[in-house]
Amino acid sequence: MRKHIPNRSFDKAADIMNDDSYGIFPAPMDNDTALEILTDYLLGEDWYVEAPMSPDQFNTIMVYNILIKYSRQFRKDVKDYKKNGNLKTITFDMAAFFEENENI
């Protein structure tokens, strides 16, 4: 079954990509718009992080989730990294974090 295409993101992307005022080059897209479109398509339109953190910390969680979902190599690297004891914990699953740390 084909994944649902988020209309909001598609409309933004289509508007920018159809802007031909830059000649043979694509119209510019700011970082926030690019990240929003990628997040909507790769993680789902309803994906969000509900925690008090900076935008840079949010970006770390977003990138981690995209790589875990779509990169077999990244999943293998994380597993090897944990196995070798180089990393005690690497998870951005907030529900799992709070289950493990009930006293917080």
pLDDT in tens, the chain (104 residues): 556 555 678 888 888 888 888 888 989 999 989 998 999 889 988 888 888 888 888 888 888 889 989 999 988 888 887 787 766 555 555 555 555 555 54
Nearest to 53, CA basis, from 92, 99, 89, 90:
92
Structure tokens at 32: 């926030």
Q: d(Cα 70, Cα 32) in Å, to the nearest integer?
A: 21
pLDDT, one tens digit per residue, over 77-102 is 888 877 877 665 555 555 555 555 55
